[in-house]
Amino acid sequence: MSGSGDVTVWINSPGGDCVAAAQIYNMLMDYKGEVTVKIDGIAASAASVIAMAGTKVIMSPVSMLMIHNPMTVAMGDTSEMQKAIEMLASVKDSIINAYEIKTGLSRARLAHLMDAETWMDANKAVELGFADEIMTRTPTEDVEIPNVSMEFSRAAVKNSLMEKIATKCKIAQKTEETNQGRSVEELMDRLNLIKY
């Protein structure tokens, strides 16, 4: 805080403690100069919260940003478990505050993205407002970046897979006409034929 110029914060982090991330976020938000955040690898979990403090967030075209629900470890009786659940809900709300300020997305949409553990490439992060631009070789060079965005949701992939499995495993209902059945004697004859 003793500095007076603009700062650039480079992020390549899988995340960590959300309280430490909140403190770093607050320090960057309170800084008087311009804060440019450059994500050159990954900004996941708590690191994504820190990234939201940037006046400008720039992502490498090969970087990723991931958001998800906060996690903790708890032990105790039902009362202690309920306290942990309530604490996680409060932490989630505070994280949504940072995402909402940066992206302008609704709290419900952000909560859904967090529930799904959402991974975004640079294009998707810009599209959703988590980032402002994508790094290029030089600012004056007219480089065309493909306009293809990717968002990965573990929950969406799981649900899609389960639907496909359910469809493949679905047993067609037999109609009265096709359900003629066989007698026990016919089945025993068939079994004996297969045996011998």
Model confidence band, residue 109 (pLDDT cutoffs 50, 70, 90): very high
pLDDT digits (tens, 9 = 90+) for 47-74: 999 999 999 999 999 999 999 999 999 9
Average pLDDT for the chain: 88
Residue 54 amino acid letter: G
State the average pLDDT over residues 96-121.
Answer: 97
Q: What is the 3-state secondary structure (H, E, C) of 5-59?
A: CCEEEEEEECCCCHHHHHHHHHHHHHCCCCEEEEEEEEEECHHHHHHCCCCEEEE
Whether the predicted pLDDT of 136 surpasses 60: yes
Q: 50-64, 75-89, 111-125, 171-185: which range is least confident on average?
A: 171-185
Report helix, strand or coil for 121: strand
Per-residue model confidence as pLDDT tens digits over 163-179 = 878 777 776 555 555 55
Say what the pLDDT of residue 88 is.
96
Q: Are strands 35-44 and 56-59 parallel, antiparallel or unpaired?
A: parallel
| pTM score | 0.72
Q: Is the model's pLDDT at 196 over the cut of 80?
A: no
User: For position 29, what pLDDT does the model report?
Assistant: 96
Vertex 131, ends 127 and 136: CA angle to 5°? 95
* Of 25-39, 43-57, 84-98, 181-195, the least confident: 181-195
- Count CB atoms within 10 A of the CB of residue 51: 28
The pLDDT of residue 113: 97
CA distance 88 to 115: 12
Task: Determine the pLDDT at residue 162.
Answer: 80
Task: Say which residue, 2 or 40, is predicted with more confidence.
Answer: 40
Name the percent of the chain lying above pLDDT 70: 87
